[in-house]
């Protein structure tokens, strides 16, 4: 048992005594759940659901459209009633699961109406309608991280499905800024702060990924400089995201997030400007930009006391240096010496990273 393993480990380190170990193990034993029985029950429920789907799918064409729509409306209404009842009785997990099912059923109903009446429109129209219908009740009834992540994924899919006159790099950056704003607004409601916390983290993670990809692959404009409108749009979006995050957060949270937003904006703009640089030097500039960005992220992580993120940032910097090292060599003999030198470089970076990671003081407070 995992709990027993860690309890014995802490006991051996002198952190807890024998009586504390026995109390921990007794408490864990009392809360033990029949996992295998739940697994069997879940498999049975899944088999029933798949069986119903198979029967309906095999006879789909012979089922009247009115029956299809009536059945979908009935199931959706029943789920909505269950959500309301769970909300009134404060049944948290029932409410969360039912809300997720209702969220999915509304999309199924929209797709069914489109199929029955042969409606011809862009897919993002249906997704936008789906979010418009479901977002209000999700905001009122769901507070778990799971449903927050599901809603965020739905919004991002809808955003990228829109046929907008934006290139992928700008669209990704604006999506990350927009999700920071949404999560910050969500954070103003105390019951939803845990949900807002994971949404902020995912939004910032998406921004880091977007800027890292822009720094790695660059974006070729075909001109000598990046369009000014794209840069202005990114600056405005970053300012709005920073302004939305400012209220209701501690000073350290504000400094870290605003510093990350500022560094991401600089890297993103620099990646766009690299589109006008000659190809002989562009790869080197991109490598330096990537290394500088993740070195800054490592500094933010060290300041916040996030050992894991600091180690991850240091690892990415080391890997990019190693790739840059191999890019500078050529020929079989040089490759052999390069492998030897690369191996030594990896071991040296691992040793340095281990020493630096141990110097990072972990924080007990949770910050996004």
Domains in the chain: boundaries: 64-163
Cα 321 from Cα 106, distance rounded (Å):
49
Q: What is the phi-psi region of residue 223: left when phi exceeds 0, alpha when psi lies from -120 to 50, beta otherwise? A: beta
CB neighbours of residue 47 within 10 Å: 10
DSSP 331: S
Q: Tell me: the pLDDT tens digits for 202-220? A: 999 999 998 998 888 765 4
Cα 229 from Cα 244, distance rounded (Å):
22
Give the per-residue pLDDT at 237.
95
Tell me the mean pLDDT in the region 177-204: 92
Q: pTM of the full predicted structure?
A: 0.77
Q: Tell me: the pLDDT tens digits for 20-51? A: 878 877 777 666 656 666 677 778 877 887 88
Q: Tell me: the pLDDT tens digits for 286-297? A: 888 998 999 889
For residue 3, what pLDDT band results from cuts at 50, 70 and 90? low
Cα 186 from Cα 207, distance rounded (Å):
19
Cα 137 from Cα 98, distance rounded (Å):
12
Cα dihedral 202, 206, 208, 212 in deg (nearest 10): 150
CB neighbours of residue 135 within 10 Å: 15
Mean pLDDT score of the chain:
82
Can you read off the two tokens belonging to residue 268? 């993103």
Identify whether the C-beta of residue 136 lies closer than 8 Å to the C-beta of residue 189: no
Residue 304 has pLDDT above 80, yes or no: no
Give the per-residue pLDDT at 138.
93
């Amino acid at each position: 048992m995992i709990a027993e393993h860690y309890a014995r480990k802490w006991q051996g380190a002198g952190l807890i005594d024998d009586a504390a170990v026995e109390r921990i193990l007794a408490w864990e034993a009392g809360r033990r759940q029949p996992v295998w029985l739940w697994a069997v029950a879940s498999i049975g429920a899944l088999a029933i659901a798949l069986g119903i789907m198979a029967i309906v799918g095999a006879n789909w064409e012979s089922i009247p459209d009115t029956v299809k729509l009536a059945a979908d409306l009935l199931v959706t209404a029943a789920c909505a009633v269950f959500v309301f009842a769970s909300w009134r009785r404060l049944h948290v997990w029932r409410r969360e699961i039912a809300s997720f099912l209702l969220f999915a059923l509304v999309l199924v109903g929209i797709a069914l109406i489109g199929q029955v009446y042969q409606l011809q429109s862009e897919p993002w129209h249906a997704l936008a309608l789906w979010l418009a219908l479901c977002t209000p009740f999700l905001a009122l009834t769901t507070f778990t991280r799971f449903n927050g992540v599901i809603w965020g994924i739905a919004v991002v899919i809808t955003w990228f499905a829109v046929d907008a006159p934006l290139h992928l790099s700008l669209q990704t950056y604006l999506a990350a800024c927009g999700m920071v704003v949404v999560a910050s607004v969500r954070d103003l409601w105390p019951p939803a702060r845990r949900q807002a916390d994971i949404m902020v983290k995912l939004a910032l993670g998406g921004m880091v990924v977007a800027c890292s990809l822009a720094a790695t692959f660059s974006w070729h404009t075909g001109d000598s400089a990046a369009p000014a409108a794209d840069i202005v749009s990114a600056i405005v979006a970053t300012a709005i995201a920073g302004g939305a995050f400012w209220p209701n957060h501690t000073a350290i949270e504000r400094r870290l997030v605003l510093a990350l937003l500022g560094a991401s904006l600089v890297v993103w703009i620099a990646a766009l400007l690299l589109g006008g640089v000659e190809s002989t030097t562009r790869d080197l500039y991109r490598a330096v930009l990537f290394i500088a960005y993740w070195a800054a992220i490592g500094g933010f992580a060290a300041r916040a006391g996030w050992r894991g993120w600091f180690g991850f940032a240091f690892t990415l910097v080391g890997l990019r240096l190693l790739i840059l090292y191999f890019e500078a060599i050529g020929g079989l003999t040089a490759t052999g010496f390069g492998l030897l030198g690369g191996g030594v470089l990896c071991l040296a970076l691992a040793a340095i990273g281990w020493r630096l990671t141990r110097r990072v003081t972990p924080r007990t407070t949770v910050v996004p």
